Amino acid sequence: MSKPVSALMGAAYDGIVRVEDCGLQGMITLRGDLASKPVIAAATGATGQDMPGQRRANVAGQSGLCWMSPDELLVLVPHGEVGDKLAAMTKALGDAHSLAVDVSDARAMFRVSGANAREVMAKLAPVDFAPGAFGPGDFRRSRLAQVAGAFWMEEDGSFCIICFRSVADYVFKLLKVAAQPGSAVGVF
């Protein structure tokens, strides 16, 4: 068995913000009726987090629930526990019409932190990042330049970004360019 590694092996860049590969993160896609009891039990049981509202993320450390669409959640769990959590979720779902799949190794995750984090994100995604419009706990699926990406804001004002692993290098380079020293716009 080969050793699991994250997409960019912990690469980091310091510009007007700090951009870093978050390392290994367990992710489970859960689809189903988000109002049904088995789905709620499976999601909350695996993470200890409450069900998120529309376009919200409830994340603490490496465990959390992110609202992806009206019938989809992204369940975050520590990478080493994915197998056990997935088995427990599958059991909790029973014969409810639903789907839970381990997608950990199909994804890459980045963190953008620093005072200019909103600016860097606003350069790449067609989303209103004004402080009143996007705050801690808010979650969006959108695009980062030319590829799909999802992101949420942490309590400390940093952003966590999830993208497909196949475009991890592209996204990291995008973030590096957007975070070049001297490139602050000063709009927020």
Residues that bind other proteins (CB under 8 A): 54-55, 68-70, 72, 126, 140-143, 148
Cβ–Cβ under 8 Å, residues 29 and 74: yes
Least spacing, CB of residue 66 vs other proteins, in Å: 12
Least spacing, CB of residue 55 vs other proteins, in Å: 6
Residue (132 or 182) nearer to other proteins, CB: 132
Least spacing, CB of residue 142 vs other proteins, in Å: 6
Distance CA 115, CA 100 (A): 37
Residue (126 or 186) nearer to other proteins, CB: 126
Least spacing, CB of residue 68 vs other proteins, in Å: 7
User: 10: closest CA among 26, 25, 21?
Assistant: 21
Q: What amino acid is encoded at 179 in this protein?
A: A
Residue (2 or 54) nearer to other proteins, CB: 54
Residue (110 or 134) nearer to other proteins, CB: 134
